[in-house]
Structure 1
Amino acid sequence: MEVTAARRSFLCDIGFWADRTALHEAASHGRALQLKQLIESGVSVNMVTVDNITPLHEACIQAHPNCARLLLEAGAQVDVRTIHGSTPLCNACASGSLECAKMLLDYGAKVNPSLTALTASPLHEACIQGNVEVVKLMISSGAQLEAFDVHFGPPLHIACAKGHVGCVKEMLKAGANVNSRAVYASDNLGRKPIDYTTPASPAHTCLMFYESNPLSLQQLCRITVRKMLGSRASEVIALALTKNRHKMDIDNERPYFFGDIGCWSERTEVHKAASLGQASELQHLIQSGASVNMVAVDSITPLHEACLRGQAQCVRLLLDAGAQVDARNVDGSTPLCDACSSGSLECVSLLLEHGAKANPALTSRTASPLHEACMGGNADCVKLLIAMDACLEAYDLYYGTPLHVACANEHTSCVKVLLNAGAKVNAARLHETPLHHAAKNMRVEMIEILVEFGANIYARDQHNRKPVDYTTPGSPSAVCLQFYETTPMSLQQLSRLAVRKKLGTRALKVMDQLHIPKLLISYLCYQ
């Protein structure tokens, strides 16, 4: 059949939108009549784009239930995955379309598709979007309440992070684990929840009250019973109430989440010394026979602690004493990930010298060291990791590639390093490119750099918006993008892009070996 590219730029359309069929367009825009005519003419409903997106994915992400129904009735695969692992049900939950979600489940869609480093569960997507009815539907269909996402953790974390109180209530009623962290628990920066509040604010006063007032015996009993019942709580309690109609007076005071049930229980003196940078104390403990590989309840080692705090001297002592260089905590992070997160070039160098993997295997819980370095914005760490062959296209569930992360966090220096090393400028996550991030952040310099390296200014995200659509009319970033839309690249620039694309990640290594004038080499290296 004839395939047409939807929106082509002067650089061609390198990304999600190449090879989209008329069926994809009709499903995406909710043109049910046109879709029906195409199906009746014999067009395949399971045709995919270069990123494995089907018309059913398009209909669900744009919340077009009529189109979704036509596609399903015509035999569309209900659990087909995109290149990022998303199923149509994930897309329906992301768009908040209850009707699409119900329809997919009626046709046998899996509510718990297997998770990979690239995927979130339908329940995660529903909690991100904030549609309580969709969350209820997922839970009633057997969605796993503790499915783990690499950035936010379980769905309850996401609902809280996004401020969706209705979703939080539904998750807790269904038995979601509320004590993934407790009221006293410290995070990886050693801070309790109350430390993030403004003194004397309602939130601060509330947490102070809970810290100083113990729970009643009745409340403790309720929490204990609910914990024992877990995700079966609502079902079992409803059954008990059906059998026993006797009423009880319930004290509805707010629960107080007690105890230090989290990362920091069972931390050894070695952990504390490493975290605080007490090198002499740490050396004394090591010499007295203390284990350098003792882990806390979340598998955090003293080496993790030292790297996260940027304590290079302690890192050296631990490594010299035999600390496991690639030990993983419960979230899958290695000490190198933590060192990159803290932006400590010295710690990163030490770990790599001791054999740390620049590309540890990714799971649904982990980001790569290069992602962490780009989040922190340390260009020297990024350069060092790239020199050690860090994967430029390692994929993070929420941001995409390291280039997405650098653009989203407005780290222009990291963007330059990644692009010069051969990172794909038009890599996409759910249609969103690095240029979309730069446009949202109104970073003119970053926009110019990305376009110089071949960014597609016509690429559209999952909301069908181009980068320029995220800028303020008349702003420098809007003017910049409008200029590029109306001014084609010179043949010289296009030639440079073609050469760089051909060389890929080998560009900087082989450029000096080309038998061409040095001035031309400098141009190819964007110098």
Structure 2
Amino acid sequence: MDDERTNQNASKLHGAGEQACAAAPGTPRMRDFVSDWSPLHEASIHGRLLSLKKLIEQGNDVNVLTADQVSPLHEACLGGHAACASVLLKHGAQVNGVTVDWHTPLFNTCISGSVACLNLLLEHGASLQPPCDLASPIHEAAKRGHVQCVELLASHGVNIDHNIKHLGTPLYVACENQQLNCAKKLLESGANVNSGKGLDSPLHTAARNCSVELVKLLMDFGADLWLKNAENKRPVELVPPGCPVGRLFLQREGPLSLMQLCRLCIRRCFGHQQHQKITGLLLPDELKHFLLHI
């Protein structure tokens, strides 16, 4: 039973959506996926490096798959075991393998939050483009609060404004799950502060959740207080009664200061990866700190 629970926890999609994308071609869907759970999978998910090396030396295929197309590399990344992932990649593990739930090793790494695994996968050519919107690595990292994963993905050129219909943008997902540090990192990297889920902006969901720090952060990065969602409501109209966020909206009513407008204009000119670009400018530290919201 322990093995079965391990396999189920490691291999099934976290959240809704299996019906939204067609199954990968040629993948069995109805078999008992526990039946072909191999010793390589077992060693990988638990980080048993010596056992893994021995099994490979004995001729076991590093790309052996379960019926759900889960590879040992998927499991090593899900467990956050970089040493096991390194050995598997060294012996030819497929870095972009896709399960029937559209999970890649990169996606699983963003579940575990292992920066070491993420670096390894990127070094071995892992694709930043998800095979299906059901399993977007940047959204998963933002949802779970893995700031270093978000930063690394952004620095490698992932689309930080990737808008998925049922999720929204990574910034929206971070705000919806009240992941302040991830939201800050995305904004520092140049994420569009007003791009959310449909007509719902990140500020809408932050106001709805009565998150003072998130609302202040979004306002500092130029969030539009007057945007209306599908219900024709502005963010301030979604603030729960008695929530201190309401006072913030009252304080920020009216036009932005010239100083704030200039900062937002300069940051927009830099586009994505703003933090790195601004840091390299030949400007006084005080001015760079202002542009970087420090």
The TM-score with structure 1 as length reference comes to: 0.49
Q: Give 1:347 shift.
A: 1.3
1:182-221 to 2 correspondences below 5 Å: 188-189=8-9
2:93 maps to 1:323: yes
Identical aligned pairs, as a percentage? 37
Q: CA separation in 2, counterparts of 1:446 and 1:488?
A: 20
SS in 1 for 2:271: helix
* 2:15 match: none
Q: Deviations over 1:489-525 (max 9, x none)?
A: 2110111011111211142343245454332121111
* 1:345 match: 115
Q: CA separation in 2, counterparts of 1:346 and 1:188?
A: 24
What amino acid does structure 2 have at the position aligned with 1:342? Answer: S
* 1:276 match: 46
Q: 1:440 to 1:345 in 2, by over 3 A?
A: same
Q: CA separation in 2, counterparts of 1:288 and 1:455?
A: 58
Q: Deviations over 1:295-344 (max 9, x none)?
A: 11111111001111212221122112111111111122210110011111
8 Å contact kept, 1:304–1:335: yes
What amino acid does structure 1 have at the position aligned with 2:285? Answer: K
Q: CA separation in 1, counterparts of 2:268 and 2:131?
A: 26
8 Å contact kept, 2:107–2:140: yes
* 1:174 match: none
8 Å contact kept, 2:163–2:197: no
Q: CA separation in 2, counterparts of 1:276 and 1:303?
A: 12
Q: CA separation in 1, counterparts of 2:133 and 2:275?
A: 32
Q: CA separation in 1, counterparts of 2:6 and 2:208?
A: 33
* 1:521 match: 288
- Residue from 409, 417, 437 that aligns with 2:177: 409
Q: Give 1:262 shift.
A: 4.6
What amino acid does structure 2 have at the position aligned with 1:363? Answer: C
Q: 1:319 to 1:413 in 2, by over 3 A?
A: same
Q: CA separation in 2, counterparts of 1:512 and 1:442?
A: 33
What amino acid does structure 2 have at the position aligned with 1:265? Answer: S
8 Å contact kept, 2:171–2:196: no
Q: CA separation in 2, counterparts of 1:523 and 1:295?
A: 51
SS in 1 for 2:219: helix
- Residue from 457, 479, 482 that aligns with 2:247: 479
1:30-179 to 2 correspondences below 5 Å: none
Q: CA separation in 2, counterparts of 1:391 and 1:191?
A: 26
- Residue from 510, 518, 521 that aligns with 2:277: 510
1:389-400 to 2 correspondences below 5 Å: 389-400=157-168
* 1:63 match: none
- Structure 2 unaligned spans of 5+: 13-29
What amino acid does structure 2 have at the position aligned with 1:494? Answer: L
* 2:261 match: 494
Measured on the aligned residues, the alpha-carbon RMSD in Å equals: 2.2
Q: Give 1:479 shift.
A: 1.7
SS in 2 for 1:317: helix
Q: CA separation in 2, counterparts of 1:263 and 1:464?
A: 47
Q: 1:514 to 1:315 in 2, by over 3 A?
A: closer
What amino acid does structure 2 have at the position aligned with 1:293? Answer: N
Q: Deviations over 1:49-103 (max 9, x none)?
A: xxxxxxxxxxxxxxxxxxxxxxxxxxxxxxxxxxxxxxxxxxxxxxxxxxxxxxx
SS in 2 for 1:505: coil
1:274-313 to 2 correspondences below 5 Å: 274-313=44-83
- Structure 1 unaligned spans of 5+: 1-183, 193-259
Q: CA separation in 1, counterparts of 2:234 and 2:33?
A: 43
Q: CA separation in 2, counterparts of 1:345 and 1:185?
A: 26
- Residue from 422, 425, 430 that aligns with 2:198: 430
8 Å contact kept, 2:184–2:217: yes
What amino acid does structure 2 have at the position aligned with 1:189? Answer: N
Q: CA separation in 2, counterparts of 1:384 and 1:347?
A: 11
Q: Deviations over 1:358-406 (max 9, x none)?
A: x224435432x21111122111111111121121112223221111111
2:290 maps to 1:470: no
* 1:372 match: 140
Q: Give 1:453 shift.
A: 0.5
The TM-score with structure 2 as length reference comes to: 0.86
Q: Deviations over 1:247-285 (max 9, x none)?
A: xxxxxxxxxxxxx94543312111111112222211111
The answer to which of 517-526 and 260-269 deviates more is 260-269
Q: Give 1:186 shift.
A: 7.1
Q: CA separation in 2, counterparts of 1:488 and 1:437?
A: 22
* 1:444 match: 212
Q: 1:506 to 1:346 in 2, by over 3 A?
A: closer
Q: CA separation in 1, counterparts of 2:82 and 2:247?
A: 46
Q: 1:187 to 1:403 in 2, by over 3 A?
A: farther
8 Å contact kept, 2:160–2:169: yes
Q: Give 1:421 shift.
A: 0.6
